[in-house]
Amino acid sequence: MTKQIFIIVLFCFTFTGRIWAQDSSAVVDSTKKASFIQRTMESFIDFTTIKTPTYSLSMYPVAGYDPQRGAIFGIKPLWTLYGNNGKSTTVATEFSYSSNGFIVAEAQLNGYTNSNWNIQSTVSYNRKENQWYGVGIRTEAIDYSTFSSNEFLFSGGISKGFNNLYVGLFFDIQSVGITNIEGDLFTPDIIGYEGGFIAGMGPGIRYDNRNNVVYPTKGWYADFKTLHYGAWMGSDYEFSTLSIDLRHFNTFGLPEKNIFAFQSVFKWSSDNTPYFRMPIMADKNSLRGISNPNKYIDNNMWYMQLEYRRELWWRLSACAWVGMGNNYSEFPNDFFKDIKRVYGFGGRFRIDDKEKVHLRADLGIGPYGDKAIFLTFLEAF
């Protein structure tokens, strides 16, 4: 694994150096010598996108695959309301069905007002066919139980910005129903075995001086949030969570087509946390290389990832990343035990020139030969 990661990083720098060495005039101006493929894609974008001086609305069909969901078909509308100082409002939605019986209906809002209020919200329904590997798995996850779940989620918060510092209140509400349990690993002693309702609320504080919230090329982002779930909000379970999310973006003096993005995340949860609210480190935005988010979970989790992003030509960009993380129950005993490492490549297709909104496709390679493919909007972080 170490050798593979070294080769990928070396490839990124070599590839970048070749591009820097090219004269910028060698890049074909698509407005002057547009190829047939360019003209076709531009026509497709015009057909699927509504653009005005203040907003854009894109609706793209989606076809993909991942080991958990199988073949995926659906549509991904994205609405972007252009804002000032690099703070645009986005509403990213998904409506999809997969060959393994998954149904996803989701809308994610990240909105900014002229008076520097930030409103975040996620509303979703998921029907899942789950694979359960157990809590606290440190090595390769092979054996699993299966069960079906219907999950409704409403989460978000509102915060007020004082220049680059945001202070706010956040909430998380979720209802989970579980059926069709098969296998010996998902047992009644697991907290959340019967599903249930959870509701929590708590404060958050964030520092954000990124030059653009959609596609930053420089700046810092630091987010701290803690929520408490209890009977006072009607929750079936009483527990607490805490999360820290640190990010940095920099070109290190290179042209802005070259971006280095770093993220470090730490999450903790108390002992009575139901399994469906334990922190995960594997999804489209975290360690892209682990095929199932249930493979490695515990009450606590951390991960770090470094991504290199490069604009190539026309609307196309590429990226490469490395990452590592771990799930653990006790600090420091399990913190560095059996660390999971991932790496991968991704392609980007820019659907909005003004805000550099991308449709992204990522292929990640994880521990023990695991793989994962993601097709979605916006950057991973």
**Per-residue tens of pLDDT for the chain, all 381 residues:** 444 433 333 334 333 443 444 433 344 444 455 687 778 878 877 888 888 888 889 887 877 666 678 788 999 898 999 987 778 899 999 999 999 889 999 999 999 998 999 999 999 999 999 999 988 877 787 889 999 999 999 999 999 999 899 999 999 999 999 999 999 999 999 999 999 999 999 999 999 999 988 899 999 999 999 999 999 999 999 999 999 999 999 999 888 899 999 999 999 999 899 999 999 998 889 999 998 888 899 999 999 999 999 999 888 999 999 999 999 888 877 888 889 999 999 999 888 877 788 888 899 999 998 988 888 888 989
CA distance 61 to 238: 41
Which domains, and CATH codes, for the chain?
Answer: 2-377 (2.40.160.50)
**Amino acid code (one letter) for 367:** P
274-309: b (≥16 Cβ within 10 Å) or e: bbbbbbbbbebbbbbbbbbbbbbbbbbbbbebbbbb
CA distance 138 to 145: 17
Q: What does the alpha-carbon distance between residue 33 and residue 142 come to, in Å, rounded to a whole number?
A: 52
**Residue 97 CA neighbour count, 13 Å, CB half:** 2
pTM over 0.85: no
C-alpha span between 158 and 71 (Å, rounded): 36
Neighbouring residues of 111: CB distance < 8 A, sequence distance ≥ 6: 81, 89, 90, 91, 118, 119, 120
> Counting beta carbons within 10 angstroms of the beta carbon of residue 365, is it exposed (0 to 12), middle (13 to 18) or buried (19 or more)?
buried
CB 213 within 8 Å of CB 186: no
